Amino acid sequence: MSPETLAAQALGQADPVTGALAPAITLATNYEQHPDGSYPQDRVYTRADNPTSEHAERLLAALEGGGCACALFASGMAAATAVFQSLLPGDHVLVSRVLYWGVRKWLAEFALAWGMDVEFTDTTDLAAVAAAIRPGRTRLLWVETPANPMWEITDLAAVCELAHAAGARVAVDNTVATPVLTRPFEFGADIVVHSVSKYLNGHSDVLAGAVLSARRDPFWERIRSWRRNAGAMPGPFEAWLLQRGMRTLFLRVHRSSQTALAIATHFREHPALTAVLYPGLPDHPGHAIAARQMDGGFGGMLSIRLAGGAGHAKAVLREVRVFKRATSLGGVESLIEHRRSGEGPSSPVPDDLLRLSVGIESRNDLIADLEAALEDGVPR
**Which chain residues interact with ligand PLP by CB under 6 A?**
75-77, 80, 100, 102, 144, 148, 173, 175-176, 195, 197, 207, 209, 328-329
Cβ-based burial of 310 (10 A; exposed 0-12, middle 13-18, buried ≥19): middle
Position of minimal CB gap to ligand PLP: 76
Instruction: Give 101 or 187: the residue with its C-beta nearer to ligand PLP.
Output: 101
The distance of closest approach from Cβ of residue 77 to ligand PLP in the complex, given in angstroms and rounded to an integer, is: 4
**DSSP string computed for 130-188:** HHH--TTTEEEEEEESSBTTTTB---HHHHHHHHHHTT-EEEEE-TTTHHHH--GGGGT
Instruction: Give 75 or 123: the residue with its C-beta nearer to ligand PLP.
Output: 75
Secondary structure class of 254 (helix, strand, coil): helix
Instruction: Give 144 or 155: the residue with its C-beta nearer to ligand PLP.
Output: 144
Q: Are strands 209-213 and 191-195 parallel, antiparallel or unpaired?
A: antiparallel
Any residues with CB less than 8 A from the CB of 7 and at least 6 apart, and which? Answer: 59, 63, 246, 247, 248, 249, 250
The distance of closest approach from Cβ of residue 263 to ligand PLP in the complex, given in angstroms and rounded to an integer, is: 19
CA angle 359, 344, 103 (to 5 degrees): 65
- Residues taking part in catalysis: 47, 100, 173, 198
Residue 108 has what DSSP assignment? Answer: I
Secondary structure class of 210 (helix, strand, coil): strand
Which residue blocks in the chain are alpha helix, DSSP H? 3-8, 51-64, 76-85, 101-106, 126-132, 156-165, 178-181, 218-230, 236-246, 249-267, 287-293, 309-319, 339-343, 363-376
The distance of closest approach from Cβ of residue 31 to ligand PLP in the complex, given in angstroms and rounded to an integer, is: 28
Phi-psi region of 376 (alpha: psi -120 to 50; beta: other; left: phi over 0): alpha
Instruction: Give 172 or 272: the residue with its C-beta nearer to ligand PLP.
Output: 172
The distance of closest approach from Cβ of residue 177 to ligand PLP in the complex, given in angstroms and rounded to an integer, is: 10
Any residues with CB less than 8 A from the CB of 23 and at least 6 apart, and which? Answer: 10, 15, 52, 55, 240, 243
The distance of closest approach from Cβ of residue 207 to ligand PLP in the complex, given in angstroms and rounded to an integer, is: 5
Selection from 157, 167, 218 nearest residue 189 by Cα: 157
Secondary structure class of 195 (helix, strand, coil): strand
CB crowding 332-342: b at 16 or more within 10 Å, else e: bebbbbbbbee
Instruction: Give 75 or 259: the residue with its C-beta nearer to ligand PLP.
Output: 75
The distance of closest approach from Cβ of residue 329 to ligand PLP in the complex, given in angstroms and rounded to an integer, is: 6
Cβ-based burial of 19 (10 A; exposed 0-12, middle 13-18, buried ≥19): exposed
The distance of closest approach from Cβ of residue 368 to ligand PLP in the complex, given in angstroms and rounded to an integer, is: 27
Instruction: Give 80 or 211: the residue with its C-beta nearer to ligand PLP.
Output: 80
Instruction: Give 284 or 339: the residue with its C-beta nearer to ligand PLP.
Output: 339
